[in-house]
Structure 1
C-alpha cells in the first residue's frame, strides 16, 4: 500500500470566457507523502494551497486544463513552490487567453505519461472535449475515503455527467467520447475527484451515458 495521501481544499473565485464571468468554487488537490507532493489546479487562493502543502517539497504543479479559474495562479504557484507547471500543449490557446501572448512557458504533458509521486505514479489521460488539451490524472494505487483507485477529472466528468461544453474550444461529442473511451473503462469503484463539487464514482456515472447523449449539449 502506498504512503501517498490526497488532501483537498475548496477555493472561491471567478471563471471568465467568451465575454462572461461567473462565480465558481474549485477543488484543489494536493497529492503526496510526508516529504514531497504535487499540486493539481491551484485555484484562487495560494495561501490555502500552501497550508495543505505545509513544509513539503512541491515537485510539480499539474493542470487539468487552462481555463482561468484553474490556471490563473499557476505561474505564481510555480514560483512560490519552486516547481514546474505542467500543461497539455493543446491548451496553448486557452493558456494565452489566461496569461496573454507572452504567457510563461509550461512543461508539456503527454497522454500515457507517468508522473512519480512518492512511491506511486499518476498516469496522464488526455480527455479532450471540455477543452482541447484537458487531461485527467489516474492514480491506480491511491485511495479516497477508503476507496481505491482514483482519477482526478478536472472539468471532464462530474457527479451527474460531462463537464460544460458550448463555449470556445469545447465540443460535446468529443467530451462524451473521451469519457467513454478513457474514463468509463476504469474500474467501477474508481473515485472521480472533480474540479468542482462533490466526488463521484465511475460505477455511479457509467449507467447514465445514454442519458447524456439524449440530453446533448
Structure 2
C-alpha cells in the first residue's frame, strides 16, 4: 500500500484539475457539479461532519458496551496527535471524491438514466475503485462502500443538489475511522464476530451497515417533515 500512496495522491490532485478543465471547456464552473463555496455549503459541511462523527461515537460506544471492542488508553496521545493531519486528509479526500462521484459522474449518468439508476451505477463504480486503493482489504467492504455511495447521493439530493452535506458526512466518517486506525487504539478481542463489528473496518460489519441505513433514514425523515 505504501508504494501506491504517491499514485493515489497524484490522482487526487489531478482529478479536480481535469474536471475544472472539462467544465471550463463547456463554459461552466464547479457549481454545476454541486460545489459552490458560500456560507450555505459550509454550514451543510459542518452539519454532515457532526452527524458522521456522532454516529461513529455511538457505534464504537455501543460495541464497547457489548464487550466487542476494547480501547487501549495508552494510545490516547497517539490518537490526539493523529487528529489534525488526518482531518486535512479527510477533507481533501472527501471534496475530491464527492466532486468526482456524486458531482461529475452522477451528472453524466443522469443524462441517460434516472436518478435511481445513476445512483446505483455511480455507487458501484465508487465501491469497486476502492479495490485500487486498498486492494483485497476492500473486498469485505464492497457492499458497505456501495451503500455509502448511495447514502451520499441521497445527501446531495436532500441538499438541493449541493455537495455540502455529502462532503461533511464523508469527511466525518473518513476522519473518525482513519484517526482511530492510525492510533491503533482499538482492539476487537472476539475475531469470530468480525462479520458484526467489521474488525476495524466498520463498512465490513453489520453494525457499520446499520449505521449507514439509520443515518440515511434520519436524513430522509428530517428533510421530508
The two structures share one fold, judged by TM-score above 0.5:
no
Structure of greater relative contact order (alpha carbons < 8 Å, 6+ residues apart): 2
More strand by share: 1
Report the TM-score, using the length of structure 2 for normalisation: 0.28
More helix by share: 2
